[in-house]
């Protein structure tokens, strides 16, 4: 059965709302711009949050399970 609370929570998340705003702005051909300082701040925040989440996930995982992805990353790099 479909859980409408979960659907509403996902549709009202900030990421989905920002995507919808961007899609709507492109549809109406708006000249929507983010100031450079805000753009840099958001970029730094995202980089730090991705790094912290990745670091926490690595800390919680077993060392042997990381060997194959590590070798694949080195090979592709």
Q: Where are the beta strands (DSSP E) in 1-77?
A: none
Q: What is the pLDDT of residues 6-50, one digit of tens each?
A: 888 888 888 888 889 889 999 999 887 889 999 899 899 989 988
- The whole-number pLDDT of residue 64 equals 78
pLDDT of residue 1: 66
Indicate the length of the chain as a whole number.
77
DSSP SS3 for 34: coil
pLDDT digits (tens, 9 = 90+) for 36-45: 999 899 899 9
pLDDT at 65: 81
From the centroid of its chain, how far is CA 36? 20
| Residue 33 pLDDT | 83
Q: Where are the domains of the chain?
A: 1-32, 36-77
Assessment of whether the complete model's pTM goes beyond 0.85:
no
């Amino acid at each position: 059965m479909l859980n409408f609370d979960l659907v509403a929570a996902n549709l009202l998340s900030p990421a989905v709302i920002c995507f919808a705003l961007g899609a709507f702005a492109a549809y109406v051909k708006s000249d929507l711009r983010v100031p450079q300082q805000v753009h840099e701040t958001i970029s730094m925040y995202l980089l730090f949050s991705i790094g912290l989440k990745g670091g926490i996930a690595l800390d919680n995982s077993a060392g042997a399970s990381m060997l194959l992805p590590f070798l694949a990353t080195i090979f592709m790099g």
